[in-house]
Amino acid sequence: MESLRRLTGGASRETWRFEADGNDFVLQRVRPGRPDGLGCEPAVLSSAFAAGVPVPEVVVDGSLSTELELPFMIVRAVEGETIARKILRDEEFAHARTILADQLGTAAAKLHSIDHSHISGLASNDQLTMYRKVLDDLGEPHPVFEIAFRWLESNRPTSGTVALVHGDYRLGNVMVNADGLTAILDWELAHVGDPMEDLAWLCVRAWRFGGAFPVAGMGTYQQLFSAYERASGVQPDPDVVRWWEILGTLKWGIMCIAQANTHLSGVARSHELAAIGRRVCENEYDILTMLREVLV
């Protein structure tokens, strides 16, 4: 093993990169005090890889191993950019921007076709019920969010389609090079549910990062839906996607309250987390705009 170096990782994992036998690998290890470990992510990643979804290939699943004291996995490194603002603005990605919405539609179709019957431990919680509880526990009621809950409860999609859902399918969690999509990352929130959740989350305004178009800030719904239909034979229902987009906006609004609360409660004092509290109203504004079109 050579050139071991630490990369900036998420809150729940530490990430390392190294070379072995001339190949590049990435090691993710659970941080201490995270009892949920890696969950079923290595199994989900392996199934996604087998199904032809662009993901890093798992070479060691250490989710049950004690060799590194804490659960870990090693994947083959994939090259590309993940920083949303660069992908949206840098000249290098000009061509990628014209095809990424299509590629994300195709990749979503593939990932929704993954046979998940053999993966144990996948959550299938009702998102609306889940976030109702998160908001109640935070104890900061927002009238616009309550209107969203009322509307979402009485307009639930009835399709009943269930698939493996990525759960955090958006710009920031995908790797892109000059030719477009190279990998879909961050499968920690994978669960079983309505596949339209993924298409909608990709379009939530926060994940457009200031871009002018709905899909990842750079593509149209039509591009996304057509690519999805070509690859899956399933034509996304725009009304169902909008239901999930409103729920997604509500979710991010509640997460903003939660992140500010992490600072305010003293769990982690941070002016960055504090500032996110003032992004709650962006989601109230977006919900207002979307609900005004459907409420009469």
Partner 1 sequence: MSAPHDRPTAAELIESVREWLERDVAPSVDGRLSFHTRVAMNSLDIVLRELAAGNDMTQRHEDVLASLGVSTDAELSAKIRSGELDGSLAHVLNSLAPVIEDKVRVANPKYL
Cβ of residue 132: shortest distance to partner 1, in angstroms? Answer: 10
In angstroms, give the least distance from the CB of 240 to partner 1.
Answer: 21
Closest approach of Cβ 35 to partner 1, in Å? Answer: 28
Query: Does residue 202 bind partner 1 (CB under 8 A)?
Result: no
> Among 81, 149, 189, 238, which residue sits at the site for partner 1 (rule: CB under 8 A)?
149
Phi, psi of 6 (to 5 degrees): -85, 135
262-291 binders of partner 1 (CB under 8 A): 271-272, 274-275, 278-279, 281-282, 284-285, 288, 291
Residue 146 within binding range of partner 1, rule CB under 8 A = yes
The yes or no reply on residue 292 touching partner 1 (CB under 8 A) is yes
Q: Which amino acid is at 77?
A: A
Contact status: 191 vs partner 1 (CB under 8 A): no
Reading the block at residue 35, the tokens are 């009892």
Contact between 91 and partner 1 by CB under 8 A: the answer reads: no
Nearer to partner 1, 180 or 277 (CB): 277
Q: Rounded CA gap, 123 and 115, in Å?
A: 15
Shortest distance in whole angstroms from residue 182 CB to partner 1: 24
d(CA 47, CA 115): 8
86 binds partner 1 (CB under 8 A): no
Q: Check if the beta carbon of residue 132 is closer than 8 Å to that of residue 152.
A: no
Binding to partner 1 by residue 213, rule CB under 8 A? no
CB of 289 to partner 1, least distance (A): 9
Residue 92 binding partner 1, by CB under 8 A = no
Q: How far is CA 148 from CA 133, 243, 259, 292, 293, in A?
A: 15, 10, 20, 11, 13
CA angle 148, 85, 49 (to 5 degrees): 80
The 3-state DSSP class for residue 127 equals helix
Strands (E) across the chain are located at: 2-7, 13-20, 23-30, 58-62, 72-76, 163-165, 174-177, 180-184, 191-193
Interacting residues with partner 1 (CB under 8 A): 141-147, 149-151, 271-272, 274-275, 278-279, 281-282, 284-285, 288, 291-292, 295-296
